[in-house]
Amino acid sequence: MTSGGSLSAGVGSDSAAGTAAGVASVEAPYDVVIIGAGPAGLAAGLNLVRARRRTLMIDSNRPRHSATLRSHGFITRDGVPPLELRRIGREEYEAYPAAEFHMGLVRTVEQLPGADLADATAARFTVSTKGMRGEKNRVVTARTVLIATGLAETLPALPSIRAWYGTNLHSCIGCDGYEEADRALALIGETDDLAEHALLISQWTDDLIVFTNGIAQVSDADEASLAARGIRVDRRPLTDVVGERGAMTGIQVADGEFVARAGGFVRPRYEAAATFVAALTPATDAYGLIVVDPQGRTSVPGLYAAGDTTPPGPEQLLVSAGEGARAAVAINRELLGPLATHPPLNLAARTEVG
């Protein structure tokens, strides 16, 4: 499963609406505010508190992968439940004196009035939250902010699809292909990249049907290429995903035919779960993902992003964790400020971290 349910960590749609009841007074600035406690946010947080950076991590405990029973491909944690991975990561982070965790929804991230964005030693951002589970609303300031909220996903509108999502149907091929090997599989989606996904799935099965639900486009050339590999494309609208006794049994087509399938994959539509940062207008790509440089810097000075919320989008947990750790190195260096006779460290070059 990718790193990252329909809501991502730390994200809220509530308006700040001025000074809300229960909001605490503005506190001393944090070195870093991390929004999201998935693999990217946790890896960044661990490295930053080890660098003795005063760090606040904000999360709403609504991860996109909450339906997944096991995650795979994360070295030393292969097969661990994603929620257990988050629990362990949070415990490691909070073991350091510089760490602080806040359960809440982020309402807004805005530039602090009068802030000098070129001065990494000064507070540059205001972050407002709506507290959850008894925690108070907060308004804090920060020198830097890291967005690690992942993605929000929309599945095809089939009534029972979520009943099988995370058990018999998956979205991450690399994460769950091995467990679905040598079975009669379905690939369900409404996007126009299904042929590429089908090709990847063929690594694990020779019995695969691509269902476009009457929406996705698969070119004639791609269909012929898939057919040469024994993969069939079914362009008919679907009614539902069907199962019994806790197991998926197949796909019900709108024309009445039932197609037996034991499991498979679904291709969601994704969007970045970071509407709270809209006032800063960071550069985004055609899909709304936040564009970053190799160290996680956005187009806004002091604002960083890592994990699935950045191009190319959904990736394995281990990849997102690596991006968070790399962003932490860049943030820590920025907070040190430049040397008088030397430019800032060239983080584009390889940096050895021990």
Mean pLDDT of 104-119: 92
Clarify whether residues 139 and 168 are in a common domain: no
Question: What mean pLDDT, rounded, does the chain reach?
Answer: 88
Residues 181 and 143 in one domain: no
Question: What is the percent of the chain with per-residue pLDDT over 70, rounded to a whole number?
Answer: 87
Residues 275, 144 share a domain: yes
What are the DSSP E strand ranges found in the chain? 30-35, 55-59, 99-111, 125-131, 138-147, 151-154, 169-170, 185-189, 208-211, 232-234, 238-244, 247-253, 258-260, 263-267, 269-272, 303-305
Domain-embedded: residue 8: no
Whether the Cβ atoms of residue 298 and residue 272 lie closer than 8 Å to each other: no
Q: Is the pLDDT of residue 161 over 90?
A: yes
Contact at 8 Å (CB) between 311 and 289? yes
Domain total for the chain? 2
DSSP secondary structure, 206-239, as one string = S-EEEE-TTTS---HHHHHHHHHTT-EEE-S-EE
pLDDT tier at 24 (50, 70, 90 boundaries)? very low
Q: How many CB atoms lie within 10 A of CB 29?
A: 20
pLDDT of residue 137: 95
Instruction: Kindly state whether residues 52 and 184 are assigned to the same domain.
Output: no
**pLDDT for residue 14:** 43
Pair 72, 28: CB distance under 8 Å: no
Specify the pLDDT at position 202: 96
Sheet with 238-244, side-by-side order of all strands: 238-244, 247-253, 258-260
Phi, psi of 209 (to 5 degrees): -120, 130
Sign of CA dihedral 140, 281, 351, 2: positive
Residue 63's pLDDT is what? 66
* pLDDT confidence tier of residue 65, bands split at 50, 70 and 90: low
Kindly indicate the confidence band of residue 27, based on its pLDDT and cuts at 50, 70 and 90: low
Give residue-wise pLDDT tens across range 191-231.
Answer: 999 999 999 999 999 999 999 999 999 999 999 999 999 99
Domain that holds residue 243: 156-267
120 shares its domain with 145: yes
352 domain-assigned: no
Token couple for 164:
């099988």
What pLDDT is stored for residue 343 in this prediction? 58
Angstrom distance (rounded) from CA 270 to CA 313: 8
Task: Using the 3D structure, point to which of 267, 284, 303 is the last residue of a domain.
Answer: 267
CATH number of residue 105's parent domain: 3.50.50.60
- Give yes or no: residues 131 and 225 share one domain: no
Same domain, 63 and 96: yes
* Residue 131 sits in the same domain as residue 162: no
